[in-house]
Amino acid sequence: MLPFLWEYRGRALFALACLVLAKMANVGIPLLLKEIVDILEQSDKAMLVLPLSLLLAYGALRLSSSLFNELRDAIFARVRYRAMRRLSNRVLSHLHELSLRFHLERQTGAISRDLERGTRSVSSILNYMVFSILPMLVEFSLVAAILLSQYDIIFSLVTFGAVAVYIGFTLAITEWRMEFRHAMNRLDSQANTQAFDSLINYETVKYFGNERLELDRFDTTLSEWEENAVKSQTSMSLLNFGQGGIIAIGVTLIMILAVDGVVTGEMSIGDLVLVNALLLQLFIPLNFLGMVYRQIKYSLADMDLIFKLLEREPEITDAPDAQPLVPKGGEVRFEQVDFHYQPERPILHQIDFTIRSGEKLAVVGHSGAGKSTLSRLLFRFYDVTSGRVLVDGQDLRSLTQESLHQAIGVVPQDSVLFNESILYNLAYGRPDASREEIEEAARLAHIAEFIESLPDGYDTRVGERGLKLSGGEKQRVAIARAMLKRPQILIFDEATSSLDSKTEQAIQQTLKEVARHHTTLVIAHRLSTVVDADRILVMDQGRVIEQGTHRELLERQGRYQQMWLLQQQERES
């Protein structure tokens, strides 16, 4: 917690000073109470004097205790909530730095719940440390000092012994109970993931009538969670009863000793009141310690996954001496590239080609041929296993990722939009773009007329993942925001494969226009979409088996011609 506290060290120290002053005032109250009782006990009944000054001091101490406690809370609030903000930002930043491989494997619902619990637990730990544990330690130290200095050693021995037994019992039972909490956390995240998945895939669930299957799966997980929650609660009752028993025995022994002291004349009635008040002041927060310790343990358990996430190293990182990309026209070169996701399953073999500046290169082939992997390597979502990928003669591994990503615009097969306005989604390509530039990009993508026909125009919200727009409309928005980015290199990764023929033709015309002044890599399954490419590469099982223009490949009567004839037959039928 030190880095979070250090930013507001002045506030933290002031809050700590308020804490000490509040506890000194708190412990001073029983001392004044003893003096008041002793004065009343020693006064002659006929000459009974009201100790007004002591009563005023008593009231002032109570007011001071309240004042310093509230000051501490108010001063420390900024530290506490800034820590939550800092951790949330740090985790989200780290998630964005992690590789595509991690995000393809992650479960969004579980990470969302873990992030929520983890950031909340930082606040909890700071809260318990400053508002519970430190005050308890200060108060315990002050009470111990009074007992040791003013009373027989037996009072301190009984008090410290009861505290030691209490703490030992609390630690032992709490450690045993932690397995239930860990199981509850795991099952809670699992249930959250299942609920998210079933809602995200709402249409699929409906198509197959599997609402009952999803509910049963969700309820099975919650049933396990319920069992562990019940065990957690019943074991907590055992813990609370044991703590109450230890406190009762300790207080009873102390009171027996104090009453005996009064009977023998070694202690006054005021001393009895003081010892009783001190013990109550000590054991009341000590009783709270059990809950605080449990909550800290739970918070640490909640933070466990966040810590593990932060410790996970990004797969792709900038080299220590990485330099920004120096643009020279946008030439792309794949040089003897091999790649695999897992060693036992190679994807690309000896890929070697160049896309000259301003050229449009298409890559075609059956599913699983390795086409989309080329775009991921060019964007440096992954590093090549061997060989090199170069942009304008510069190895991607020697460049900063930020400068590389800035130079490349991507229109994917499934263009996912944010659940914001159309304007927000268009401006995402370059957030600092002016309204005129955004509207110009929309016109270039032939989407401006559609947007202006909507009742809310550019302020129309597109829905979750852009579901309120058709496939063609989403693709045009994706093209517009890619254009607004002003990249040197454009990648169209099967950007029209999920569209109907009429929409596909319209989008193809748009793509042809926007690609005119860019180095363009088009990854396609439908050959009809790439006949105008300057060059076409045909891939099969991770290898380039043919290359040339559309006409040259047809004349060669190889794999490309077979694919062309097959797709023509499918279209005619």
**pLDDT above 90 as % of the chain:** 21
Does 241 have pLDDT greater than 50? Answer: yes
How confident is residue 72, by pLDDT bands cut at 50, 70 and 90? confident
Residue 293 has pLDDT above 60, yes or no: yes
Residue 221, both tokens: 């997980």
What are the residue boundaries of the structural domains of the chain, listed by start? 2-311, 332-407+487-572, 418-478
Averaged over 101-124, what is the pLDDT?
A: 71
State whether residue 403 is helix, strand or coil: helix
- What are phi and psi for residue 304, nearest 5 degrees? -55, -50
Structural contact between residues 194 and 218, judged by C-beta atoms closer than 8 angstroms: yes
Strand duo 519-524 + 360-365: pairing: parallel
Strand order in 394-395's β-sheet? Answer: 345-355, 332-342, 386-391, 394-395
Region 204-217: mean pLDDT is 87
d(CA 355, CA 363): 11
Q: Given a cut of 80, is residue 465 above it in pLDDT?
A: no
- Specify the DSSP class assigned to residue 386: E
Give the 3-state secondary structure of residue 491. Answer: strand
Judged against a pLDDT cut of 90, whether residue 334 lies above it is answered with: yes
Lowest mean pLDDT among 107-111, 212-216, 397-401, 502-506: 107-111
d(Cα 442, Cα 262) in Å, to the nearest integer? Answer: 91
CB 317 within 8 A of CB 399: no
| 456 φ, ψ (degrees, to nearest 5) | -100, 5
pLDDT band at 105 (very low <50, low <70, confident <90, very high): low
Measured between alpha carbons, how far is 340 from 183 in angstroms, rounded to an integer?
A: 36
Task: Measure the CA–CA gap between 254 and 153, rounded to whole angstroms.
Answer: 12
Work out the average pLDDT over 57-82.
83
Q: What is the mean pLDDT of residues 204-221?
A: 89
Q: Amino acid identity, residue 517?
A: H
**123 compared with 204, residue with greater pLDDT:** 204
Q: Note the pLDDT tens digit of each residue in 478-533.
A: 888 888 888 899 898 887 665 666 666 776 777 777 777 789 999 988 888 888 88
The pLDDT score that the predictor gives to residue 444 is 82
In angstroms, the CA 427 to CA 442 distance is 10
Nearest to 523 by CA among 366, 342, 330, 394: 366
- The CA R_g of the chain, rounded to the nearest whole Å, is 36
Residues linked to residue 141 through DSSP beta bridges, in sequence order: none
pLDDT at 47 over 60: no
pLDDT at site 327: 85
Identity of residue 251: V
117: pLDDT strictly greater than 80: no
What is the mean predicted confidence (pLDDT) over 308-336? Answer: 88
**Contacting residues for 512 by C-beta, under 8 A, at least 6 apart:** 532
What's the CA gap between 395 and 391, in Å, rounded?
A: 7
Mean pLDDT of 456-483: 83
CB of 420 closer than 8 Å to CB of 468: no
53-57 contact pairs (CB < 8 A, 24+): 57/32
The residue-averaged pLDDT of 173-188 equals 84
| Higher-confidence position of 168 and 2 | 168
| Residue 175 reports pLDDT greater than 70 | yes
Task: Tell which residue, 248, 250, 271, has the closest CA to residue 260.
Answer: 271
Please classify residue 268 by burial: count the beta carbons closer than 10 Å to its beta carbon, then call 0-12 exposed, 13-18 middle and 19+ buried: middle
Return mean pLDDT, the chain: 83
Can you identify the CATH homologous superfamily of domain 2-311?
A: ABC transporter type 1, transmembrane domain (1.20.1560.10)
Q: How confident is the model at residue 46 (pLDDT cuts 50, 70, 90)?
A: very low
Q: What is 182-205 written as a DSSP string? A: HHHHHHHHHHHHHHHHHHHTHHHH
What is residue 218's three-state secondary structure?
helix
Integer angstrom CA distances of residue 504 from 346, 361, 494, 500: 33, 19, 11, 6
Average pLDDT over residues 166-194: 84
Strands 332-342 vs 345-355: parallel, antiparallel or unpaired: antiparallel
- According to the model, what pLDDT value does residue 189 have? 85
Q: Strand 489-493 to strand 519-524: parallel, antiparallel, or no bridges (unpaired)?
A: parallel
pLDDT of 44: 56
pLDDT score of 57: 82
Quote the tokens at residue 442: 């929309």
CA distance 169 to 153: 24
Q: In degrees, to the nearest 5, what angle opens at C-alpha 330 toward C-alphas 326 and 335?
A: 95
Give the confidence band of 287 by pLDDT, cuts at 50, 70, 90: low
- For residue 365, list its beta bridge partners: 539
For domain 332-407+487-572, the question of CATH label 3.60.10.10 is answered with no
Distance (Å, rounded) from C-alpha 569 to C-alpha 144? 93
pLDDT of amino acid 354: 93
> CB 237: neighbour CB atoms within 10 A?
9
**Predicted local confidence at residue 290, as pLDDT:** 64
The alpha carbon dihedral of 514, 520, 524, 529 has a sign of positive
Residue 208 confidence (pLDDT): 80
- With 60 as the cut, is the pLDDT of residue 197 above it? yes
Question: Distances from the Cα of 88 to the Cαs of 94, 114, 561, in angstroms?
Answer: 10, 11, 54
Alpha-carbon distance of 516 to 192, in angstroms, equals 47
- pLDDT classification of 325: cutoffs 50, 70, 90: very high
List, in sequence order, every beta strand (DSSP E) within 267-368: 332-342, 345-355, 360-365
Look at residue 573 in the predicted model and tell me its pLDDT. Answer: 61
